[in-house]
Structure 1
């Protein structure tokens, strides 16, 4: 399987494609690619039995696709945890390293890393880590962009994307922050939130708000 197909499986998994239909637009926003490219790759995943596509509804992973995605995500996120926790990498810098390492990691090695790290349940950007039997706590799939004005929410996780993580670092948005959603500006404008602990108001860009998940 090509790295690009694997990236699609992982992003569909991150967006909730194990339980619900994910739109082409969501995938395009998260991978920062054209919608036309998504349509082409979705067709390939369907042909290989890794995904199901319903016109005008979206795409979800098959059992085969879920198993493959869980294996990839587990290796990727355990390496991210190791790089941040043991080697003091900055969060925005771990994705590219973990992307390389996941492809050369045996089941024995990932099991040993998991035990060495104390069996972590979540990676540094908040995503659940499946254990070797495929068990994990289901992530929230409610994006900041889809949260109503006036809602009080907790920042739970971010999509694993270098540019996104750099942007969120710059605006000081962090996992675990309690925030109030103030307003959604029209015409794909930012979502303004207020951090409860400080009262600081932060405008979060339209694209970023679709890749930040809350509960």
Structure 2
């Protein structure tokens, strides 16, 4: 399987595609890829029985696709956790390293790292890590952009993207921060939030608001 196909499976998993249908637009924004390219790849994944697609609704992972995605996510996130917790890598740099290492990692080595780390349930970005049997508690798949004006939410996790993490570092947004959503600016403008944890107001770009997952306060 090509790395590009793996990226699609991982992002569909990330966006809740084991249970719910994920729109092509969400995939396009998350991977920063044109809608036309997303449609082309989805057709390939459908032909390989990795996803099922319903026009104008979205895609969902098949049982085969979900199993592959869970395995890919587990390898990637255990490596991220190992690099950060054991080797002191900056969080900004781990995604690219993990992307390479996950393809050359045996199950024996992966399980050894998992044990060494104390069998973590989440990676440094807040994403779930399936255990050795493939079990995990489903994460929240609600995006910051989906929050209502006036609603108070908690930052649950981020998509592990270097540019995103740099941006979130600049505006001092962290996992666990409690936010009150002030307003969504029109025409794909920013989401204005009051960070109740840091006691500051921030404008979070439309694109970044699709990379930040939230849960109820």
Equivalent residue number for residue 67 of structure 1: 67
Query: Match of 1:31?
Result: 31
| Residues 1:97 and 2:102 aligned together | no
Task: Give the distance between the partners of 1:54 and 1:134, measured in 2 at CA.
Answer: 27
Cα displacement (A) at 1:8: 0.3
Q: Secondary structure at 2:20's aligned position in 1?
A: coil
> What pairs with 1:109-124 in structure 2 (closer than 5 Å)?
109-124=109-124
2:176 alignment partner in structure 1: 176
Residue aligning to 1:7: 7
CA drift of 1:195 comes to 1.1
SS at match of 1:37: helix
Counting only pairs closer than 5 Å after superposition, residues 52-201 of structure 1 correspond to structure 2 as 52-201=52-201
Structure 2 length-normalised TM: 0.98
Unaligned 5+ residue runs, structure 1?
A: none
**Structure 2: 5+ residue runs without aligned partners?**
none
TM-score by length of structure 1 reads: 0.98
Once the two structures are TM-superposed, the CA of residue 199 in structure 1 deviates from its matched residue by: 2.0
Q: Displacement of 1:198 after TM fit? A: 3.0
Structure 1 residue 191: Cα displacement? 0.3
Structure 2 residue aligned with 1:50:
50
Question: Number of paired residues?
Answer: 215
Kindly state the Cα deviation for residue 16 of structure 1 after the two structures are TM-superposed.
0.5
CA RMSD of the aligned region, Å? Answer: 0.7
Deviation at 1:167, TM superposition (A): 1.1
Separation in 2, partners of 1:214, 1:84: 23
- Counterpart for residue 214 of structure 2: 214
Query: Structure 2: how far apart are the matches of 1:20 and 1:33?
Result: 21
- Superposed structure 1 runs of 4+ greater than 3 Å apart: none
In the TM superposition, what is the alpha-carbon distance from 1:88 to its structure 2 partner? 1.3
1:49 and 1:62 map into 2 onto residues whose CA distance is 7
